Amino acid sequence: MINVGGIPPSKECIITIAYVSELELASESTIRFVVPTAIAPRYDPGKGSISSSANVNYSYVHSTLYTIAFNCRIENIGQQITRINSTSHPIEV
């Protein structure tokens, strides 16, 4: 969990998160990496609790009050990268 506090109203805040992760092999030729961008996506206010992500029906918001920049470095995969895409957001490569 990350807590950010003490930011005055209407001020900009830049948060940098860096980590190393083993990539999921989705198929023989596809690697999948998921960047969670929702705030508390599993919280159900009607239940007042957090439910299993398998039971969550995600909906995408096309306009937010924040932006996200994502930089990625992939090393030592043993194959040539032929395509990079996103199933949910437009990307620049």
Is there a domain that residue 58 lies in? Answer: yes
- Sign of the torsion angle spanned by Cα atoms 74, 76, 77, 82: positive
pLDDT value at residue 44: 57
| This model's pTM is above 0.75 | no
In a domain, 13, yes or no: no
pLDDT at 33: 81
Contacts of 79 (CB under 8 A, 6+ apart): 29
- Let me know if residue 71 belongs to a domain: yes
pLDDT in tens, 28-75: 888 888 777 665 555 556 665 555 555 555 566 667 777 778 888 777
Number of domains, the chain: 1
Domain that holds residue 60: 41-84
Query: Does some domain include residue 28?
Result: no
Q: Distance between CA 47 and CA 56 in Å, rounded? A: 13
